[in-house]
Amino acid sequence: MATIKVTRPKLTAGEKIYFGSIFKGMIVTLKHAYRSLRGKSVGSKELASSGLGITMQYPEQKWDEHLPEYYRGVPALVTDEQDRERCVSCQLCEFICPPKAIKITPGEIPNKDEWAHVEKRPQSFDIDMIRCIYCGMCEEVCPEQAIYLRPDYVVTGNSRSDMVHDKERLYEIGGKRVGLVNKWNKLK
C-alpha cells in the first residue's frame, strides 16, 4: 500500500486564535434568539408556532392544517358517491405490502344485495399499523381506487390489537371519495 503524506495546512495568526469565529457564531445565535423573542422566527407563521421560536406545542397544537396535500399518513379504505365499498378484495395490496401488514378475507356479495353485480367485497380487511411503513404501495397498486393514504398520522393504542385497523375503522378514516373512475355503479 502506498503511503500518502499529508501536510497540514499552514494557518495564519488570526486563524490560530479561533475566538473570532466563536464570536461570529454567537452573534448569529443571538440574532435568532432576538427574533424568536419577538415572535418573528422564519417559518413560525406557517408552522403555527406558539410564539417562542418555531417549535409547535404538540399535542395542544397539531399538524393537521399544515400538512401538504401529498402527505402520506395512515392507509384507509374509501367509499364512492353512492356509499359503495370501492374495495373488491382483489388482494393485490396484501400481495404488494412490503411489511405484510394487510390481511384480507375475501367474501361474496349476496344476491339480494344492491351491489350483487360487483360479486366480491372484503369480509374482513385488517391493517396492522404496527407493521405499516406508510410506503403507499397499496394505494399505487389498487386497481379499484379503493385505498388511500390519508393525512391522519396519530395512531395510538394500548395493546397490539388496538393497533390493528379493521374494516369499520378503515372506512371511518377513509370516508367518501368522489370524482374517481366509475366502473361498477353505471354512473357514466
Binding site for another protein (CB under 8 A): 88-92, 94-95, 106-108, 116-120, 143-144, 183
> Residue 56: which of 47, 65, 64 has the closest Cα?
47
CB of 109 to another protein, least distance (A): 9
Helix (H, G, I), strand (E, B) or coil at 110: coil
CB of 143 to another protein, least distance (A): 5
36 or 87, CB closer to another protein? 87
55 or 91, CB closer to another protein? 91
118 or 137, CB closer to another protein? 118
Residue 85 and residue 176 in contact, taking contact as beta carbons nearer than 8 Å: no
d(CA 158, CA 79): 29
DSSP secondary structure of 118-187: G-EEEEEEEEETTT-----HHHHH-TTS-EEE-S------SSTGGGEE-HHHHHHHH-B--SS--SSS--
36 or 121, CB closer to another protein? 121
d(CA 32, CA 38): 10
